[in-house]
Chain A
Amino acid sequence: MSIKMTRRSRRLLGGVAVLACTLAGGLTACGGGDETVEDSATAGEVTWWGWTPAEEVIANTYIETFNKEYPDIKVTFKQVGLADYDSVMRPALASDQGPDLYGIAPGVTFGQFAQFGIDLMPAMVELLGEDWKSKLLLTAADPLIDEAGALKAAPVGINFAGPVWINQDLFDQYGLEPPTNFDEWVEVCAAFKAQGQGCYVHGAQDAAFNRDVIQSISDTINPGLMAKALAGEEPWNQPDLVATFEAWKRMFDEGIMEEGALGVTHYPDAHNKFLAQDYAMIAMGQWYGQYAVESILIPAIEGAGVSNPEPFTVVPILFPAANDQATPGAMFGAADYGLAVNAKSKHQKAATTFALWLATSPNAQQVVANALNNVPALASIQIDWEAAGLVNLAVQQGPIEQMIETCKTTTEGRGMEHDPAVIDSLGQAASNVAAGNQTPEEALEWLQATLQG
């Protein structure tokens, strides 16, 4: 086949080439426009991507407070769902188009994404002094420091799992007391169901939240044991963990878990059902305190699909004791997230200003504390309960305050640092036991062989 180029064709081809060059030039000019922007610590536009705060109203409160001190730095928050966070951040950070600031959690996320952040240690030392770590809570900073000693993210706050949150209004309405052990829990759920009210909702499709509940059960039986098993320091196939899995199975068999829990996600399904008051109890970490704040709860209820949302009283209780020898209560966690500054950012100074302001400024940490999404990293900060705006201060303040004080002294980890395959295997064992495919003993033998064999 021969292609004969007429004069007209040549002109057309030439025109296309000129158009393509013009477009390419224009795009290059657009893309390269930022290169001429001077990086300043007090002015600029900064993008911030994170899975938390889950409610944008909290992030916007942080930014509004920040802009009172730094009016010339514009921060734009983009909430990326937890489930999609890794898949979104990997290509974003590998490219030149990633955010200026990004949230980073200890453990696997830190292992993957810390390399893209700058070292914030010099700036932190300059702000808080050489003994900066002593001004933070125990578990806030260390998980965000890499092997070379670089602080890759400014710690904003710490987070703990372990409690169960209840809708106190529903308990009062049906004249029920929160359960302190599994026998009472079974009775409470039967009573709720007899009234046509859902009792405890859990998204057992999510391995990470199954891990939280199983670790809570385990902690009531033998505190710290499961954290050690996750770290490979204790075998899985031992009696206290068998008892843990038996209690987990009991939740499905005796009507504590809602029907079909294995097909439900914790976020958003179970979370939305709790906010819609379809269920009276849910296992969530201390971060769920944010829904005790009326200004955060109302839009969240609307987001759960409820029209004309009415606030209700959310209160944490200790995780019920799993058997006769167990003690109620469990708490485990670490740094929730830090803010990392992207090494490819053209606004590193402005981004660093915001990250360190949120982590170290008493004003910022007070806003963090009052939002009840995190326990603030700065140890000196106390919650201003009047300013926080709880739905029912008299009922909520005591239990939430007690929970937060426990968090501040807890050192047991949540297992975030482990390979995701460990959590995946644990999730598989948990599902198999829940579905009756394996006995607790069989599942734990399998876990032992898979993870430590």
Chain B
Amino acid sequence: MAVTKPAAGPSRRQHHRVLQQGRGQRRSRGQRRYRVQRPGYAWVAPAVVISIGLLYFCLGDTAYTSTLQWDGVSPNPEHVGLRNYSELLHDPIFWRALRHCAVFLVITFTIQTSLGIAFAALLHSRIRLASLYKVIIFIPVVLAPSIMAPVFRLIFAADGQFNWVLRHIGLGFLAHPWLGDERTSLYVIMFIQVWEFTGLTFILYYGAMSQVDHSIIEAARLDGAGNFRTLVSIVLPIVKGTTVALLMLSVIGALKIFDIPQLVTLGGPNYSSEFLSTYIYRHSIPLARVGFGAAASMVLLVLAVGFSMIFARLGRRGGDR
């Protein structure tokens, strides 16, 4: 390859002038960006009203409510300052619920990601009835938890179908009241979550893997890489963005999960499957402690936003590399 001499560039002074001009242009563009002509306000008003009205007003109102001792209807709520927060941080059930969120995140994310990658990789190879498998894997994602919860309550009841199957395949010694035992109720919730959302993980990885340049895969093959090595060393680093996005969604999901534990175990027995959201609900609605529930909601918000920022930064850092 011939090396050519670079053309003579602009002098330092010229370069500085160009930079100044560019900054000036940027400034003037920036100034214009904020100058919305009067008729434009009508167009942006709905979005402003909705975002401020629905989101920030509610946030402010929840923050204010968190300083009250209030049952949700009384006309005379009592101002208690930060007492709800103090009580929250001293409640062992709150910390237990947070632990459950963390365990839930680690286990469900690991299993869902592994299964999602495995299914996506398998269905990218030429197998028969691939379309059918895709549908089967994805169907649980579109089924509402409220529909599936009673089904799982029946399946995992002491006299349910899961125990029936165990007894009929010679594993009767494992038969167990899965929902009625605090050692197993949390794992049933995790199982349902994995069953329900592995399809989503799969579809995201499947889409991401479709974007991988085949020439890279072929180059790896030429270098002697097998299927597993190609997946681990070539494909997974390329789809890392999907993994980070799923991790962020999983963190927020673990903090917010409500429907499955509430409908299947009510957070029990004895708070063994209590999560932050079921904890908030229990205090806000059945126990009529709306102020305390609002304080827990604010903690949930701070955690969700904090983790999102951390993972967004991690994702950007990974992308920069």
Contacts and interface: CB of A to CB of B under 8 A. Distances in A.
A172 B70 CA distance: 53
A108 B288 CA distance: 9
A263 B270 contact: no
Contacts, number: 107
Interface in B1-51: 32-33, 35-37, 39-40, 42-43
Interface string A264-302: 110001000000001000000000000000000000000
A389 B144 CA distance: 42
Contacts of A420: 286-288
A1 B32 contact: yes
Given A2-B35, A259-B180, A435-B270, A264 B157 contact: yes
B268 to A, nearest CB: 6
B268 A262 contact: yes
Given A90-B72, A94-B73, A262 B43 contact: no
Contacts of A265: 266
B173 to A, nearest CB: 14
B90 to A, nearest CB: 13
Interface string B265-290: 11011110000000000000111110
A93 B181 CA distance: 39
Contacts of B43: 3, 13
Nearest to B267: A205
Contact of B37 (A3, A83, A90, A93): A3
A365 B39 CA distance: 67
A432 B36 contact: no
A90 B270 CA distance: 27
B268 A431 contact: yes
A238 interface: no
B159 to A, nearest CB: 7
Interface in A410-453: 420-421, 424, 428, 431-432, 435, 437
A94 B74 CA distance: 10
Max chain B Cβ within 10 angstroms of own Cβ: one of A3, A10, A116, A263: A263
Contacts of B74: 112, 115
Interface in B137-191: 153, 157-159, 177-182, 185
B68 to A, nearest CB: 15
B269 A431 contact: yes
Contact of B157 (A1, A93, A263): A263
A25 interface: no
A307 B38 CA distance: 68
Nearest to B271: A428
B75 interface: yes
Interface string A332-344: 0000000000000
A205 B153 CA distance: 13
A213 B71 CA distance: 28
B285 A4 contact: no
Given A262-B270, A265-B266, A113 B73 contact: yes
A119 interface: no
Contacts of B75: 115
B73 A3 contact: no
A127 B153 CA distance: 50
Given A2-B40, A260-B179, A263-B177, A90 B73 contact: yes
Contact of A3 (B40, B265, B270): B40
A258 B33 contact: no
B40 A264 contact: no
A261 B180 contact: yes
A396 to B, nearest CB: 29
Contacts of A9: 39
A260 B188 CA distance: 14
Interface in A82-111: 83, 86-87, 90, 93-94, 108, 111
A349 B285 CA distance: 32
10 contacts: A1-B36, A3-B40, A87-B285, A204-B180, A260-B159, A262-B177, A262-B181, A264-B180, A424-B286, A435-B270
For the complex of A and B, list the 3 residue pairs with the smallest distance between their C-beta atoms, beginning with the closest. Answer: A260-B177, A263-B180, A260-B158
Given A87-B285, A113-B73, A437-B182, 12 more contacts: A3-B36, A9-B39, A86-B286, A90-B73, A93-B73, A259-B177, A259-B180, A263-B157, A263-B158, A269-B153, A428-B271, A435-B270
